[in-house]
Structure 1
Amino acid sequence: MDRAALDKQYNLRQAVPGHLDDFARWRRMSDAARAALPHRADLAYGGHPLETLDFFSVPQPGRPLIVFIHGGYWQAMDKADFSFAAMGFASEAAGHLANVAVINYPLAPAVRMDRIAAANRRALLWLWRNAAELGADPGRIYAMGHSAGGHLVADAALADWRALAPAAPQNLLRGGLAISGLFDLRPIQQCYLNDGLRMDQPEAERNSPLLRLPFAPRPLVPMALAVGERETDAFHEQQSVFAQAYHAAGGEVMAITEPHRHHFDILDGLGRAEGSPPDGLRGAMLRLIEQSGDE
Structure 2
Amino acid sequence: MVAHIVTDWDDAYENARNIPGGSGYPAAWVGPSSAFREGADARLDIAYGAGVRHRYDLFLPEGTPKGLFVFVHGGYWVALDKSFWSHLAAGPLARGWAVMMPSYDLCPDVSIAEITAQVGAAINHAAGEVAGPIVLSGHSAGGHLVTAMMCEDTPLSGPVRDRLAHVLSISGLHDLRPMLKTARNQVLGLDMQSAEANSPALKRPLPNVRLTTWVGGGERQEFLRQSALLSNIWHGLGCVTQDVPEPDRHHFNVIDGLMDPESAMLRVVLGGE
Describe the SS at the equivalent of 1:105: coil
Conserved 8 A contact 1:68-1:145: yes
Q: Report the alpha carbon displacement of residue 160 of structure 1 after superposing the two structures with TM.
A: 4.4
Residue 142 in structure 1 maps to residue 139 in structure 2: no
Match of 2:81 among 78, 82, 92: 78
The Cα of 1:22 is off from its aligned counterpart by 3.7
Q: CA deviation at 1:281?
A: 2.1
TM-score (norm 1): 0.85
Once residues 49 and 153 of structure 1 are traced to their aligned partners in structure 2, the CA distance between those partners, rounded to angstroms, is: 22
Aligned to 2:268: 284
The answer for unaligned runs of 5 or more in structure 2 is none
Q: Work out the CA distance in 2 between the residues paired with 1:83 and 1:55.
A: 10
Residues 1:171 and 2:171 aligned together: no
Q: What is the aligned counterpart of 2:173 among 179, 182, 186?
A: 182
Amino acid at match of 2:105: P
For 2:20 and 2:111, the matched residues in 1 are separated by 29
2:149 corresponds to which of 156, 160, 181: 156
Distance in 1 between residues matched to 2:24 and 2:152, nearest whole Å: 36
Corresponding residue for 1:54? 57
Percent of counterpart pairs with the same letter? 34
Question: Are 1:121 and 2:120 counterparts?
Answer: yes
Cα shift readout 1:3-52 (whole Å, capped 9, x = no counterpart):
85111100112222412334233112211210221101100111121111
8 A Cα contact 1:258 1:280, kept in partner: no
> In the alignment, is the contact (CA less than 8 A) between 1:176 and 1:222 conserved in 2?
yes
2:189 matched to 1:201?
A: no
Q: Residue 59 of structure 1: SS of its match in structure 2?
A: coil
Matched residue, 1:30? 33
Matching residue of 2:92: 89
Distance 2:145 2:107 in 1: 14
Q: Is 1:253 equivalent to 2:264 in the alignment?
A: no
Q: Evaluate the alpha carbon distance shift between residue 112 and residue 261 of structure 1 in structure 2; reply closer, same or farther with a 3 A threshold.
A: same
Matched residue type, 1:235:
F
2:28 partner SS: helix
Runs in 1 of length 4+ with deviation above 3 angstroms? 1-4, 163-166
**Alpha-carbon distance in 2 for matches of 1:101, 1:112:** 23
2: CA distance, partners of 1:224 / 1:120: 19
SS of match in other structure, 1:251: coil
Distance 1:165 1:171 in 2: 9
Query: Matches of 1:271 and 1:196 in 2, distance apart?
Result: 32
Q: Is the 8 A contact 1:29 1:271 kept in 2?
A: no
SS at match of 1:43: strand
Q: How many residues align?
A: 270
Deviation at 1:201, TM superposition (A): 1.0
AA aligned opposite 1:182: L
Shift of 1:269: 2.6
Distance 2:160 2:98 in 1: 20
Q: Distance in 2 between matches of 1:13 and 1:176?
A: 26
Q: Is the 8 A contact 1:109 1:196 kept in 2?
A: yes
Aligned to 1:241: 229
Alpha-carbon offset, residue 2 of structure 1: 8.9
Q: How does 1:220-235 map to 2 (within 5 A)?
A: 220-235=208-223
C-alpha distance in 2 between matches for 1:169 and 1:80: 25
Segments of structure 1 that go 5 or more residues without pairing to the other structure are none
CA change 1:3–1:85 in 2 (3 A) is same
Measure how far apart 1:220 and its partner are. Answer: 4.5
**Cα displacement (A) at 1:64:** 1.0
Shift of 1:209: 0.1
